[in-house]
Amino acid sequence: MNDGYSGYGSTAGTMDMSADAGLRSFMLGVYNKMALGLLLSAGLAYAVGTVPVLTNLVFGTVLFEVVRWGPIVLLLGSGFIMRRPSPMGSALLYWAIVTLIGMGLGIWVYAAESALPLQSASGTSVTASYGTIATAFALTASSFLGLSLWGYTTKRNMTGLGSFLFMAIWGAFALGMVNVFFMQSPVMELIIQIAFLVLMAGLVAWQTQSLKGSYYAFKDDQRSLAVMTNMGALNLYIAFVNIFQILMSLLGRD
């Protein structure tokens, strides 16, 4: 889920701005941090999925609940605690969430390594393989690149889209929780996954444009730029991982 630290992007103003060296440096910093987060997640996922001691520790103890719900708790909690995030605080939040999510992604590696199908909350069987993982990652990376590039270059002002996306995402998340604990409908699960995929696609484009506008609003405030680098990377990282996980579920669906 996205964390709602996009308030920095609400001051985007006009989108008819010429790029400069400062903007390129800022955006490169965001993407580099996101890429490092993905690399760390991939390393953790592989370790957790292939090393039996780590597999048992993460998925066979109470640590599983921490890995499962920790990112959501951190995101929600930080929204109340970090009213004005510091560069250090936002960086710690980013790497903590990346670490937990990376460990959780180990379930896909474990399923591919052991050739065991996974069961979704609705009872749908999902088969994972290294081929599926590679395909899902390639699709995610290519679509992310295209959406982010479009969000960066388009002259269309998407400022008003942010509120709709956040409300829709949280609504879909709430409906997903209802389905998990009460309905357990495979059809509803599929509809929610497709809805999430569309919403995350829109979020990538909107967040990219929002970061671009935010740079111009705060380009003389190094503290704010440092925070935006961390939070921008976090938002884009979460969107990337969500798209990847949905594609894994769709591609491996039996």
Query: Does residue 1 belong to any structural domain of this protein?
Result: no
Query: Does residue 174 belong to any structural domain of this protein?
Result: yes
Give me the residue label for tokens 């065991």: 116
CB-count exposure of residue 63 (10 Å: 0-12, 13-18, 19+): middle
Q: What angle do CA 251, 206, 214 make, to 5 degrees?
A: 140
**pLDDT at res. 221:** 85
Query: Does residue 85 belong to any structural domain of this protein?
Result: yes
Element containing residue 136 per DSSP (H, E): helix 130-153
Query: Does residue 82 belong to any structural domain of this protein?
Result: yes
Instruction: List, in sequence order, every residue forming a beta bridge with 126; answer none if it has no partner.
Output: 118, 253
**pLDDT at res. 185:** 84
The distance from CA 11 to its chain's CA centroid, rounded to whole angstroms, is 23
Number of domains in the chain: 1
Could you say which DSSP state residue 43 is in?
Answer: H
Query: Does residue 23 belong to any structural domain of this protein?
Result: yes
**pLDDT at res. 17:** 45
**pLDDT at res. 46:** 97
Q: What distance in Å separates the CA atoms of residue 254 and residue 251, rounded to the nearest whole number?
A: 9
**pLDDT at res. 219:** 83
Could you say which DSSP state residue 126 is in?
Answer: E
**pLDDT at res. 6:** 41
**pLDDT at res. 13:** 41
Residue 186 is part of which domain span? Answer: 6-251
Could you say which DSSP state residue 122 is in?
Answer: T
**pLDDT at res. 10:** 39
231 contacts 207 by C-beta, under 8 angstroms: no
Query: Does residue 90 belong to any structural domain of this protein?
Result: yes
Q: For every one of its 254 residues, what pLDDT tens digit does the chain have, with 9 covering 90 and above? A: 444 434 434 344 444 444 588 899 999 999 999 999 999 999 999 999 999 999 999 999 999 999 999 999 998 888 777 778 889 999 999 999 999 999 999 999 999 999 888 887 767 888 999 999 999 999 999 999 999 999 999 888 887 787 788 888 888 888 888 887 887 788 888 898 999 899 999 999 999 999 988 898 888 888 989 999 999 999 999 999 999 999 999 998 87
Query: Does residue 10 belong to any structural domain of this protein?
Result: yes
